[in-house]
């Protein structure tokens, strides 16, 4: 059936909704469903009745998604071969990301996508990291690499980023690190051309601070942008202007339209063959497609280009009278080719923005002045996208509407100007290079303005309302910006009120402890009925994973915690303290101990919250030892239930605790010292604590071997149940009063979808 036609009696938009439902149903299952599930909608589609085609499209969505999902899972590197070392030959299939090694500035760290030559059981795409090398990696090159391959696996926490879902969407079947390498060929094709253009930008703009933004806006290459840059864009709500998306593609399409229409009128005989309007649409399509190709045609760019090309095709065919049909058709085509992209925030935000533009710009009796229309459109986009932004990013930028009023036209001018300057520099360097330099200067001034806006007080509001409130706010946005005369418009304002209330998920009595999955590191959240404490915040790496930003803060906000009553840092090692700055920047914190500029955590601190007693047992106020030895040890007790948090204490600290606090060490729940290292958990300490539940805060298949087998055996000997955060995901332990067996819930066991690795024994 032609997708542009609809079966008799069925609205295309409703059919596409049924198709989308089929896609979502597959994503809702914990395990991939059997193909037998297709029988139900297909049987319902057999009779010639009113809803026949609805079930056909539902079955189509189910079937295509199931087929694509199975193909993606078959491409994954199997768990039983995790850590295997192979020598593979293949091509660098992305623009490599380069970083300087902080421990050796003369050496580089490279990350790139690698496509090995087809082989039995090999994934089509691997995400490769190459540490501490002086080699230069370029896109499109052939390399023979000795790789240590790893199965897809990431941290799994409530509210946190799902790394395994991202790998699935990107088609990456495994990760790997380079052991040895030999170059076997130079790059060719479009990738090599993009690499040459990227290097040319560095040559035309040597050391220019705006060069990374130039590369991002022209080539879609964002690896040069640092975490500080993205923080500025996040706080000002302008990330969508820098990451090539529908906005950038749309700008180039508009430029192509007006340029094509104008050029066509320069030769009047051409007007007899085709109207200038249609010539403009053709040029618009060429500009949109050409820009998408230069930008790499990655999934977000491809989606934006497809949407733009469908709108352009509708304009060429004089079919723009029903924009919702065009938008629905674009949605259908994207999901037909890539149904797994339905979990991508970018997909929902892009279509949400375009739908909002269509909604506010069509079906109105009177067209306001263009300036007023621009202001109303920006306000509409900000309001409509607020629920989606809160859902996906756990917060919003309050200056974003005002900043975007100025930034949108500025970036709309800069994008085609930069592309034109780059093209001119490639063809005529004497003229193009200075123009590119002036454009980069202007972009630098624009970046400076965004920095000032990002410094406005509380520019980013960290907040995560419950999903029913977000759905109600979406309805409110539709009502609020409905055409004049609709009596329910003011009701839309009331629909936004529930956004002000965070979900309450605190225990009614006793306390609840959550050991978060931060990889090889520690972050623990303790909640009572009306208070919240954070003990450590996991690791952070320069221009890389930050547990505070991607795990701790999203978890706290998803649990309704926007303010910490106390932040307690056990000691200064990166795997415990790295995420602290992100937490401090995002959340309000009443008191801090152990962090720079605040009192140290020492023995003898005591406080009482909601019937729960807290006490620090170590380290002494005066004493010696390294950071691990002086880790802060926290004892929590309520109604006979005791939890003990021990940081990275060593044997000497354990011996001191047994000597001075033997009567205070018995605990129902223990977060094991030093992640289950052999340097801790001595037999004497284990005998004194005798925990019923032990949590080892260690990464999945930790390269340190944590928890060590001999440590596991000691806790087994006292009858303790043992859990590892890297295996189970975030672990939530309820310790109610009066004393009862602690209830342990592993997030991976509770919510893991079919694309998530299952927990191992």
Contacts for 240 with CB less than 8 Å, ≥ 6 apart: 247, 349, 353
Neighbouring C-alpha atoms within 13 Å toward the C-beta of 517: 29
DSSP at 540: B
| Six token digits for residue 534 | 């954070």
**pLDDT over 50 (residue 4):** no
Q: Report pLDDT digits (tens) over 634-683.
A: 999 998 899 999 999 999 999 999 999 999 999 999 999 999 999 999 99
DSSP at 147: E
Decide: residue 218, CB within 10 A, 0-12 exposed, 13-18 middle, 19+ buried: buried
Compute the mean pLDDT over every residue in the chain, rounded to the nearest whole number: 90
**pLDDT over 60 (residue 168):** yes
Q: Nearest CA to 121 among 196, 174, 51?
A: 174
Instruction: pLDDT band for 471, please (50, 70, 90 cuts).
Output: very high
Report how far residue 239's alpha carbon sits from residue 311's, in angstroms, rounded to the nearest whole number. Answer: 24
| Six token digits for residue 404 | 């975007």
Residue 283: what pLDDT? 95
Residue 141: what pLDDT? 95
Q: Report pLDDT digits (tens) over 242-293.
A: 887 778 898 999 999 999 999 999 988 888 889 999 999 999 999 999 999 9
**pLDDT over 70 (residue 368):** no
Paired with 527 in beta bridges are: 512, 532
H or E element in which residue 88 lies: strand 85-92
Spell out the domain ranges in the chain. Answer: 12-74, 79-187, 218-463, 511-751
CA 381 to chain centre: 21
Residue 9: what pLDDT? 52
Tell the CATH topology of 79-187: OB fold (Dihydrolipoamide Acetyltransferase, E2P) (2.40.50)
Residue 339: what pLDDT? 95
In 10 A of CB 748, how many CB atoms?
Answer: 23
Contacts for 428 with CB less than 8 Å, ≥ 6 apart: none
Report how far residue 671's alpha carbon sits from residue 594's, in angstroms, rounded to the nearest whole number. Answer: 19
358-377 b/e (C-beta count within 10 Å ≥ 16 → b) = bbbeeeeeeeeeeeeeeeeb
Instruction: pLDDT band for 625, please (50, 70, 90 cuts).
Output: low
CATH superfamily, with its number, for domain 511-751: Ribonuclease Z/Hydroxyacylglutathione hydrolase-like (3.60.15.10)
Instruction: pLDDT band for 3, please (50, 70, 90 cuts).
Output: very low
Q: Report pLDDT digits (tens) over 673-717.
A: 999 999 999 999 999 999 999 999 999 998 899 999 999 999 999
Sequential DSSP letters for 633-660: EEEEEETTEEEEE-TT--HHHHHHHHHH
Residue 706's alpha-carbon distances to 367, 441, 533, 629, in angstroms, are: 66, 51, 26, 18
**pLDDT over 70 (residue 1):** no
Q: Nearest CA to 484 among 323, 373, 355, 363?
A: 363
Q: Can the peptide bond before residue 663 be classed as cis, meaning omega within 30 degrees of 0? A: no
Report how far residue 707's alpha carbon sits from residue 697's, in angstroms, rounded to the nearest whole number. Answer: 8
**pLDDT over 80 (residue 320):** no
User: What count of residues does the chain have?
Assistant: 761
**pLDDT over 60 (residue 364):** no
Q: Nearest CA to 179 among 302, 86, 102, 271?
A: 86
The pLDDT > 90 percentage for the chain reads 62
**pLDDT over 80 (residue 103):** no
Report, as an integer, the average pLDDT of 12-37.
92
Q: Report pLDDT digits (tens) over 498-509.
A: 988 878 788 888
Instruction: pLDDT band for 483, please (50, 70, 90 cuts).
Output: confident
**pLDDT over 90 (residue 236):** yes
Q: Nearest CA to 283 among 267, 268, 296, 264?
A: 264
Residue 167: what pLDDT? 94
Residue 744 or 106, more confident: 744
Neighbouring C-alpha atoms within 13 Å toward the C-beta of 757: 27
pTM for the structure as a whole = 0.90
Report whether 663 contacts 641 (CB < 8 A).
no
């Amino acid at each position: 059936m032609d997708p542009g036609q609809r079966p008799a009696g069925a609205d295309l938009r409703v059919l596409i909704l049924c198709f989308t439902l089929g896609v979502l149903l597959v994503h809702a299952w914990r395990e991939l469903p059997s193909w037998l599930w297709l029988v139900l909608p297909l049987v319902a589609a057999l009779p010639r009745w009113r809803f026949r085609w609805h079930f056909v499209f539902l079955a189509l969505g189910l079937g295509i998604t199931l087929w694509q999902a199975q193909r993606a899972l078959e491409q994954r590197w199997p768990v039983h071969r995790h850590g295997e070392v192979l020598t593979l030959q293949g091509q660098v299939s992305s623009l490599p990301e380069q970083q300087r090694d902080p421990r050796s500035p003369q050496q580089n760290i490279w990350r790139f996508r690698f496509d090995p030559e087809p082989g039995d059981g090999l994934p089509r795409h691997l995400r490769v990291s190459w540490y501490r090398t002086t080699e230069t990696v370029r896109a499109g090159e052939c390399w023979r690499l000795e790789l240590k391959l790893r199965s897809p696996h990431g941290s799994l926490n409530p509210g946190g980023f799902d790394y395994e879902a991202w790998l699935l969407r990107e088609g990456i079947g495994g990760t790997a690190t380079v052991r040895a390498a030999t170059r076997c060929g130079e790059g060719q094709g479009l990738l090599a051309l993009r690499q040459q253009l990227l290097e040319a930008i560095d040559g035309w703009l040597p050391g220019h601070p705006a060069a990374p933004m130039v590369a991002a806006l022209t080539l879609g290459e964002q690896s040069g942008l640092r975490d500080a840059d993205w923080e500025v864009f996040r706080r000002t709500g302008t990330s969508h202007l820098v990451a090539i998306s529908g906005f950038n593609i749309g700008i180039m399409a508009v430029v192509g339209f007006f340029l094509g229409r104008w050029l066509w009128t320069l030769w009047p005989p051409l007007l007899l063959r085709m109207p200038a309007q249609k010539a403009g649409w053709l040029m618009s399509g060429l500009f949109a497609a050409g820009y998408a190709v230069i930008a790499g045609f990655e999934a977000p760019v491809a989606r934006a280009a497809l949407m733009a090309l469908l709108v352009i095709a509708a304009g060429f065919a004089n079919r723009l009278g029903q924009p919702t049909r065009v938008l629905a058709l674009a949605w259908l085509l994207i999901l037909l080719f890539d149904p797994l992209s339905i979990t991508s925030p970018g997909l929902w935000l892009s279509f949400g923005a375009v739908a909002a533009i269509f909604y506010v710009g069509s079906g109105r009796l009177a067209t306001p002045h263009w300036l007023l229309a621009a202001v109303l459109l920006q306000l509409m986009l900000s309001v409509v996208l607020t629920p989606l932004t809160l859902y996906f990013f756990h917060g919003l930028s309050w200056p974003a509407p005002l900043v975007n009023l100025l930034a949108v036209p500025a970036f709309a001018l800069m994008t085609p100007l930069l592309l034109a300057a780059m093209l001119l520099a490639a063809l005529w360097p004497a003229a193009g290079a200075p123009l590119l330099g002036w454009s980069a200067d202007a972009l630098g001034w624009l970046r400076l303005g965004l920095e000032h806006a990002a410094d406005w007080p509380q520019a980013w509001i960290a907040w995560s309302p419950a999903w029913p409130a977000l759905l109600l706010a979406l309805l409110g946005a539709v009502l609020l910006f409905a055409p004049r005369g609709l009596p329910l418009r003011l009701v839309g304002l009331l629909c936004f009120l529930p956004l002000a209330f965070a979900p309450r998920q605190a225990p009614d009595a006793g306390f609840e402890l959550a050991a978060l999955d931060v990889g090889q590191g520690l972050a623990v959240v303790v909640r009572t009925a009306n208070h919240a404490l954070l003990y450590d915040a996991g690791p952070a790496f320069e221009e890389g994973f930050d547990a505070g930003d991607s795990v701790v803060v999203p978890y706290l906000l998803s649990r309704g915690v926007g303010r910490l009553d106390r932040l307690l840092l056990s000691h200064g090692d990166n795997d415990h303290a790295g995420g602290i700055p992100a937490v401090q920047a995002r959340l309000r914190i009443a008191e801090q101990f152990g962090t720079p500029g605040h009192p140290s955590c020492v023995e003898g601190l005591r406080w009482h919250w909601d019937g729960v007693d807290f006490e620090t047992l170590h380290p002494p106020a005066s004493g010696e030892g390294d950071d691990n030895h002086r880790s802060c040890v926290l004892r929590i007790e309520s109604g006979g239930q005791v939890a003990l948090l021990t940081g990275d204490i060593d044997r000497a600290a354990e011996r001191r605790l047994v000597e001075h606090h033997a009567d205070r060490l018995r605990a129902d729940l223990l977060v094991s010292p030093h992640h289950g290292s052999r340097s801790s958990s001595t037999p004497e300490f284990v005998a004194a604590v005798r925990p019923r539940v032990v949590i080892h805060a260690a990464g999945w298949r930790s390269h340190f071997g944590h928890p060590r087998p001999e440590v596991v055996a000691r806790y087994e000997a006292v009858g303790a149940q043992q859990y590892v955060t890297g295996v189970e995901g975030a672990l939530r332990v309820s310790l109610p009063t009066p004393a009862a067996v602690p209830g342990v819930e592993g997030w991976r066991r509770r919510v893991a979808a079919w694309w998530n690795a299952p927990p191992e024994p």
